[in-house]
Amino acid sequence: MNDLGLKITNGQKHIQVTSDSRNFSVSEKQRLAEVSKQFESLLTSMMLKSMNQTTGNGMFGENSFGGDFFDSIFQFEIANQMSKGTGLGVAEQIYRRLTGESFSPEVLNPKLKPVEKFSKIEVQQNTQEIGPVKPSNQSLSRLDKYDEIINYASETYGVDKNIIKSVILAESSAKENAVSSANAKGLMQIIDSTAKYLGINNVFDPKENIMGGTKYLSQLLRRYNGDLKFALAGYNAGPGNVDKYNGIPPFTETQTYVKRVIGYIKNFEETSNAL
């Protein structure tokens, strides 16, 4: 069997995988990520082999003892280690075409524990000074349309549905076409750079927006060890500002935002307990 030579002018040109548009579970996404990484590793190994064939000397020199054997091993290991890092970006391109999302921590690291859902008692910790806030009936009526998506996002990323609902209400009053003065868009008011990072193609699509926004919330909750106040402050003002001030930044807008979201959460929980 002849050796396979490889010539690539545009590595991403050949990645024409079309998503079947169904919802993947976290375990399925983990498997797709693993296979994508394995493909990139194989592709990288083939590229290294092709480059060595071009020079004619291999990695250990033309006349080295066992050079061909060791070349193959080192090519494989180098390719494998490259794919574990940022790699060539091929694996993420394949994964994105299959799922419509970018790699996330829980997908790349199956051992990473999901964010624990917040119970009423946990939400009330360190928030005793904040009372329930009732949203307008109009915004609640709009929000009802997205119950199915919110429940799915909650199950996927481990963020309590009342937190998701409350962020949506605070961000856009549940208006899917909302655009802020800072050009934040959609139900969860996601700016373009964050949308790109989260793998959102259409920020005005309710499902993409809610899934992306919830994914970001889960990352912030994990970053701040489940501290809801810090996560909400990070969502509003950016995690850089939370880190800079080692807590909720001294911005009136952010402080008001955190109180409003937690007030909405408490209102949802009181309403649920009354039923």
Distance CA 169, CA 249 (A): 21
Is 34 one of the catalytic residues? no
CA–CA distance, 186 with 209 (Å, rounded to integer): 7
Q: How far apart are the first and last CA of the chain?
A: 72
Contacts of 167 (CB under 8 A, 6+ apart): 188, 213, 217, 232, 235, 261
Among the listed residues 171, 176, 208, 269, the single catalytic one is: 171
Q: How wide is the angle at C-alpha 175 spanned by C-alphas 171 and 177, nearest 5°? A: 105
The residues that are catalytic are 171
